[in-house]
């Protein structure tokens, strides 16, 4: 504030008749604007007589004497030094690209699964219903953390697999107690979950999102709350572990005698392999896919058939 007062005082004094001679000797552009820059001051001093201004109060008493050019020059030099110093301060580096596993965690869903799903895939729907707050919060967080183009394929897959399974569980407890998911009218077509600015149903997530990501093993990771479906895992899928998790669930499904019966010369398969055959033939035949994950090598001329599908609830 002190320096600002001095500058205002100097400009005022320089505009008065007592300094008219100095102003006339300055470059024309300075005279026009009544302003002085640090580059112009040496010329003014060279062509002019240094002036001392007396500051007098209302009673005529001198309270200060100011060398107008020296004070102005010093002040402007200090301001320029400050600007130079500020310009040399390095800008903070760009923030690192965010890891979306840390931005959105599936830990809450993992905790729900650990508490309410057995190792063989039986789900305690009654208990989840009685303590449904955690599931509600998790689904809400799904809606607040939609995948973006920056997410990796595995991050998107883990998100939508977990979302599908959580919503299937939510659908069941909304209608519990029931004997089968098929007791619910249009269970896969009901748009009950708002993610971002859109309402989703299970059909859309499975057929329009997950299947279009060209990963056939998703069929052993998403569940339909039925006995013949792949069992619901008691851990959440995560991007960092997804490859191993998908391999594990595929091998486990094929080796499960309740879902498939595999012998070298005779295979009785889950109808999942019939309904989604094209998905399993992306990189070869269905037999090629089966032999990649089966513990038993199936012969090319093996007899193939499909088992009846049990839609009883997986509780």
Question: For 162-199, what is each residue's pLDDT tens digit?
Answer: 999 999 999 999 999 999 999 999 999 999 999 999 99
Task: Name residues whose C-beta falls within 8 Å of residue 201's C-beta, 6 or more positions apart in sequence.
Answer: 188, 189, 190, 191, 192, 193
169 with 292, same domain: the answer is yes
251 with 293, same domain: the answer is yes
- Residue 148 falls within a domain, yes or no? yes
pLDDT at 104: 81
**pLDDT surpasses 80 at 279:** yes
Is residue 228 very low, low, confident or very high in pLDDT (cuts 50, 70, 90)? very high
45 with 145, same domain: the answer is no
Task: Name residues whose C-beta falls within 8 Å of residue 179's C-beta, 6 or more positions apart in sequence.
Answer: 312, 313
**pLDDT surpasses 80 at 1:** no
Token pair in block for residue 77: 């030099």
**pLDDT surpasses 60 at 203:** yes
pLDDT at 27: 41
DSSP state of 102: H
Choose among 57, 167, 150: nearest CA to 109. 167
Per-residue pLDDT, averaged over 25-30, amounts to 40
Token pair in block for residue 40: 């112009």
83 with 173, same domain: the answer is no
- Residue 311 falls within a domain, yes or no? no
Q: Quote the domain boundaries for residue 52.
A: 2-88
pLDDT at 193: 98
Which segment, 13-22, 34-43, 81-90, 248-257, is predicted with the most confidence on average? Answer: 248-257
Beta strands in the chain (DSSP E): 52-56, 62-67, 193-195, 198-200, 261-262, 266-269, 303-306
- Residue 260 falls within a domain, yes or no? yes
- Residue 296 falls within a domain, yes or no? yes
18 with 121, same domain: the answer is no
* Total residue length of the chain: 315
Report the number of distinct structural domains present in the chain: 2
- Residue 94 falls within a domain, yes or no? no
pLDDT in tens, 121-171: 999 999 999 999 999 999 999 999 999 999 999 999 999 999 999 999 999
192 with 279, same domain: the answer is yes
Choose among 27, 33, 44, 40: nearest CA to 11. 33
- Residue 141 falls within a domain, yes or no? yes
């Amino acid at each position: 504030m002190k320096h600002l007062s001095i500058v205002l005082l100097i400009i005022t004094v320089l505009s008065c008749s007592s300094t008219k001679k100095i102003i006339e000797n300055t470059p024309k552009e300075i005279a026009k604007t009544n302003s002085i820059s640090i580059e112009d001051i040496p010329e003014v001093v060279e062509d002019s007589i240094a002036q001392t201004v007396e500051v007098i109060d209302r009673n005529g008493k001198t309270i200060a004497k100011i060398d107008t050019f020296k004070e102005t020059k010093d002040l402007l030099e200090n301001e320029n030094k400050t600007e130079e110093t500020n310009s040399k301060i390095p800008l903070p580096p760009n923030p690192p690209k965010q890891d979306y596993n840390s931005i959105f965690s599936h830990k809450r869903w993992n905790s729900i699964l650990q508490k309410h799903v057995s190792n063989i895939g039986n789900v305690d729907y009654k208990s989840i219903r009685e303590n449904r707050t955690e599931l509600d919060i998790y689904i809400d967080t799904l809606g607040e953390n939609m995948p973006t183009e920056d997410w990796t394929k595995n991050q998107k897959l883990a998100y939508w697999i977990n979302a599908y399974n959580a919503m299937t569980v939510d659908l069941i407890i909304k209608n519990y107690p029931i004997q089968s998911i098929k007791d619910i009218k249009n269970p896969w077509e009901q748009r009950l979950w708002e993610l971002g600015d859109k309402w989703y149903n299970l059909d859309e997530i499975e057929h329009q999102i997950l299947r279009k990501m060209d990963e056939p093993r998703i069929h052993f990771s998403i569940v339909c709350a039925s006995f013949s479906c792949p069992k619901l895992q008691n851990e959440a899928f995560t991007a960092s572990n997804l490859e191993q998790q998908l391999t594990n669930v595929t091998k486990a499904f094929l080796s499960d005698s309740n879902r498939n019966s595999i012998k070298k010369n005779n295979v009785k398969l889950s109808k999942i392999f019939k309904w989604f055959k094209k998905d399993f033939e992306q990189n070869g035949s269905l037999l090629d896919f089966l032999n990649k994950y089966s513990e038993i090598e199936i012969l090319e001329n093996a007899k193939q058939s499909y088992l009846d599908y049990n839609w009883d609830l997986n509780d």
